[in-house]
Structure 1
Amino acid sequence: MRSSRSSVSRTLGPAALAALLLIPGTAAPAGAAGDADSPSLPGIPATVADGRPCTPGSAKKSAQVPWAQSFLGIDRAWELSRGAGVKVAVIGTGADLRRVPALDGRVTGGPDVVAGGTVRDDCVGYGTFLAGIVAGGQQQGLEAAGVAPEAEVIAVRATSKHGATTPEALAKGIRAATESGAQIIHVALSVPSAPKQLKDAVLAAQKAGALVVAPASAREWESGAGASQAENGPAYPAALPGVLAVSSVGPGGEPEAPGTGKGRRSQPRLSAPGVSVTGPGPGGRGQFTGRGDAVAGAFVAGTAALVLSYHPRLTAEQVAHRLESTAYGAVGDTPDPGIGLGIVDPVRALSAVLPEERPQSPSGTRKAAAPAVPPLDPPEARNRALAVAGGAAGVTVLVAFLAFVLPRGRRRGWRAGRAGGPVTETG
């Protein structure tokens, strides 16, 4: 199963794959640099050290279609659903609601359960980034957009100004999200323990009909919580019953390499893009890149919003079941340690007719039923995108070659369509 997902990365090699996908920090084709199409967007932090300034706005943008957007076939999914009518709470560092056009009309400020009041800003920027992955709008000249651009995101802050949190703060954030009427709650933070207060908050959200999504890991670079997070053991609330734990994969469809970030980890149920992901950030129209299981969780939360908008009668458990049973690579009920039951597939999650949904024949057996839209495996979308990118790269090389060779040939008397030695010009 894993070998098929990594075939593209093995064929092209890491350097070629990175160049074609314009992963930040890699070389870009000539003419691609500049503020309008930057190959090196700044990274969005998960925390800001005490005493350090808030994350500055980005002056860079990329006009390229983000790899994660192509990988998941988001454009195909929009043919069926854009998440209208669904409320998604993102519990994190807040959101910059005054200066980020991608969030206008899509993200509202929920409560700040640590400092009090209502969320208006985001010193760290991570919550802004995640809200954009869930429901960010497409801006003029840019291809990047959220998974469910017509969903409503409620930004709840459950951290200090600099991004630190506690189990008690998370519990308050989950309760606030539940009270706001959120149908999907993405807890974008992890803690090393689950006291009764946190367990009760998750259970109350589930009883209210909300689907709780959480990152499978609590890594140092992701949570900034220090040495306690680096111990072995589960991450919470991902390890709690009924919570949809999510891990991250890169452009090759592979989970992050073991040892990438130390910390606690729970068994994921699903995975999604979480490496070199493009999205909005604080401070204006510029873009950032982000990583981590919380970023992957934002893709899953957005996909859940698409599904619930298209299938409004589904319960939270049924939405989770649909996401898991239609995931790319799903082969049974035993999760893979790296990717869980598979990589979330928005198109299949929307269009597939599950076995239990097929009509029964008079004999009592289930009839086969065609899905509403032909399913699109993420690797097919990825392979086509890479083929186009590879073709463009080949044309670039060819043009450069001809630009170098033809003038030299002409100086030596060569003409197209003629074999042999130099051609002598005649009157």
Structure 2
Amino acid sequence: MRPRALRGAAAAAGVIAMLLTAGAGAPHAASAASSTGTPPSVDATAQQCTPGQRVLTPATSYLVERLGLEDAWALSRGSGVTVAVVDSGVEAGNVHLSGALVRGHTTFGDGSAPADDDLFGHGTAIAGLIAARPVDGSGVVGIAPGAKIMPVRAFESAPEDGQSSRDITGPSAASVSAGIRWAAEHGAQIINVSLSDDQSAGQYRTAVDFARSRGALVIASAGNRKTADSNRPDPVHFYPGELDGALAVAGVLRDGTWDPNSSYAGAHVDIAAPGQAMPSTYISGGDCVFNGDSASSSYATAVVSGAAALVAARFPDESPDQWAFRLKQSAMRVSPAERSNTVGWGEVRPAEALALVDDGMLPGPPSAVHPAPTPVPTPPRTISIDPVPDPLDPARAIVGWAFGAGATISAIVLLLARARSRRARR
């Protein structure tokens, strides 16, 4: 997949630095997308993904074992939580999403939420990773299979010059920010934004702050190198993920390795999740395995959003900041007290997040409710250079005197005896 920039209204608005993951389609579709400048299509190297051809993947998703999902599902399946997917739309006809969708919205036109289509497919894959229901004959299942999905379409297709071919309108900072606000207004507790932008901080900040005030947690991509514009230097910002009140998610390979050719590193990274060889829902109505050759932070973002839905369902009275703290604090990392610029606080572990007890004393990210522990100063130590008296010295002195006195008496007795012996001989 070659990097490409956005066109249409997004370019007109100057928002051309979106870092999107692969969207949907077979390899030949990806090539066509590259030539027209549309967002990337699905890199389906692990499995051919053909629009209109429904295929179910029987193998159990490796994410179940990798993330310990059986243990997590014993505590929560995400029921009662709505996750907004601010993306390209969601194909409601997918077998895994039957009964999973709530009313959606588009930030264009009349506000209705048209389904995902063969130009994109990205939003459908994201939705499946979050909340796909298990079905017979398929191993695909979402991280939170009891959660609801709210499709919020932030990019749109439209006729180009009266032709049947289509071009992209968006996404832009305005459309994504509007989507975040709409989702928060309409009851989403978790808002998945599988993209990042290096511009328009003010718009994103307003949207994230609004979502936070309405009890919603925004979870966004930390950026993909493979789908960034190769003509631009490394972006220094990753909105909305890097903002306070949001989580920025990095992608790792299926074995947990961070890949510098796939992902950006930086102080903005909060947490990581698998983003390679991701089994999920496809616009054909069945399954597909996405992104076989790299780690996409877009798919990783969906994994963390699913984990957040599990947490929000189990702890509905906690705040978005508390949910985020649970995810970061419980993540798997080498040193409990340290984060890194590659994977943040570590790779997400949903079961551990659900079992976490926050007493304010845990090493790592600061608690969302407890003040940081006051450091206790170490009392000063006085070091003396005077010799330390030996408690046995008095005993040794007495014994020494006793031996000395005994030796003296023995010598005197010996001398007297010798003197007597000499007198006697005379």
TM tier relative to shorter chain: 0.5 to 0.7
Q: What is the rounded CA distance, in whole Å, between the counterparts of 1:268 and 1:93 in structure 2?
A: 24
Q: Decide which moves more: 273-282 or 210-219.
A: 210-219
How is 1:109-120 mapped onto 2 (pairs within 5 angstroms)? 109-120=103-114
8 A contact 1:247–1:270 mirrored in 2: yes
Q: What is the rounded CA distance, in whole Å, between the counterparts of 2:279 and 2:169 in structure 1?
A: 21
Q: Aligned with 1:108: secondary structure?
A: coil
1:234: which partner in 2? 237
What number of residue pairs does the alignment pair up?
313
Q: Aligned with 1:335: secondary structure?
A: coil
Per-residue Cα deviation, 1:49-72 (whole angstroms, up to 9, x for no partner): 549899724544321112222200
How is 1:254-403 mapped onto 2 (pairs within 5 angstroms)? 254-256=257-259, 258-260=260-262, 267-290=268-291, 292-329=296-333, 331-332=335-336, 334-356=338-360
What TM-score, normalized to structure 2? 0.67
8 A contact 1:235–1:264 mirrored in 2: no
How is 1:204-219 mapped onto 2 (pairs within 5 angstroms)? 204-219=210-225
8 A contact 1:63–1:143 mirrored in 2: yes
TM superposition shift of 1:210:
0.9
Q: What is the rounded CA distance, in whole Å, between the counterparts of 1:295 and 1:47 in structure 2?
A: 23
TM superposition shift of 1:115:
3.8
TM superposition shift of 1:230:
5.3
TM superposition shift of 1:353:
2.5
Q: What is the rounded CA distance, in whole Å, between the counterparts of 2:30 and 2:178 in structure 1?
A: 23
Among residues 34, 57, 60, which one is paired with 1:65 in the alignment? 60
8 A contact 2:106–2:114 mirrored in 1: no
Among residues 140, 148, 153, which one is paired with 2:149 in the alignment? 153
Q: What is the rounded CA distance, in whole Å, between the counterparts of 2:195 and 2:109 in structure 1?
A: 17
Q: What is the rounded CA distance, in whole Å, between the counterparts of 1:205 and 1:45 in structure 2?
A: 34
TM superposition shift of 1:241:
1.6
2:127: which partner in 1? 131
Among residues 128, 138, 142, which one is paired with 2:138 in the alignment? 142
Q: What is the rounded CA distance, in whole Å, between the counterparts of 1:159 and 1:46 in structure 2?
A: 20
Q: What is the rounded CA distance, in whole Å, between the counterparts of 1:273 and 1:173 in structure 2?
A: 26
The residue type paired with residue 343 of structure 1 is E
What TM-score, normalized to structure 1? 0.67
2:251: which partner in 1? 248
1:390: which partner in 2? none
* CA RMSD, 1 decimal: 3.0
Tell whether 2:207 aligns with 1:201: yes
8 A contact 1:192–1:218 mirrored in 2: no
Q: Between the two proteins, what is the percent identity of the paired residues?
A: 31
Q: What is the rounded CA distance, in whole Å, between the counterparts of 2:283 and 2:169 in structure 1?
A: 14
8 A contact 1:192–1:264 mirrored in 2: no
The structure-2 alpha-carbon separation of the partners of 1:121 and 1:46, relative to structure 1 and needing over 3 Å to count, comes to farther
TM superposition shift of 1:288:
3.4
Q: What is the rounded CA distance, in whole Å, between the counterparts of 2:156 and 2:226 in structure 1?
A: 17
Tell whether 2:188 aligns with 1:182: yes
The structure-2 alpha-carbon separation of the partners of 1:61 and 1:133, relative to structure 1 and needing over 3 Å to count, comes to same
Q: Decide which moves more: 48-57 or 334-343.
A: 48-57
The structure-2 alpha-carbon separation of the partners of 1:110 and 1:59, relative to structure 1 and needing over 3 Å to count, comes to closer
5+ long unaligned stretches in structure 2: 1-24, 42-49, 158-167, 363-426
